[in-house]
Amino acid sequence: MKVMLVGEPGEPRTQLKTVLAALIEPELEIVEADASAAPNLAENATAPPDATLVMINGNEESALTYLQSQALRSPRPHLLAVLTARSAGLMKRALRSGADEILFLPLDPERPLARCSS
């Protein structure tokens, strides 16, 4: 399964990549990109991603714009917004921008992932 991890470089993205890389099933091919470069990367990819995780932890507008652009693609990847803060307003904006689900950082391996489906 091909997964695109989009977001600002830094500790939250590194943490998320580490968690994804530790998954045994399904086997993941992880591609990383910044939100500003990701649209070009996605358009030029030989195989589109099955899922895209968009981190919203810095440049919110860039991340939300990227979500919107991916929601209009065909085939459309499964879109997950990854938030570092539990802000009701940001959650609503992410869902309105096209996110299928919302995950919250930091991920706690002892608890199921906190998610919100649209």
pTM score, whole prediction: 0.79
Task: Give Rg (Cα) of the chain.
Answer: 13
Q: Length of the chain in residues, anyone? A: 118
Q: At what angle do helices 60-71 and 88-96 cross, to 10 degrees?
A: 30
- pLDDT beyond 90 at 81: yes
Between strands 101-104 and 115-117, the pairing is antiparallel
The string of pLDDT tens digits covering residues 24-75 is 878 889 998 887 665 555 455 567 899 999 998 877 898 999 999 999 988 8
Chain mean pLDDT for the chain: 82
**Domains of the chain with CATH codes:** 2-117 (3.40.50.2300)
b/e string for 68-98 if b means 16 or more Cβ within 10 A? ebbbebeeebebbbbbbeeeeebbebbbebb
Q: Which of 101, 42, 95, 94 is nearest to 63 (CA)?
A: 94
H or E element at residue 118: none
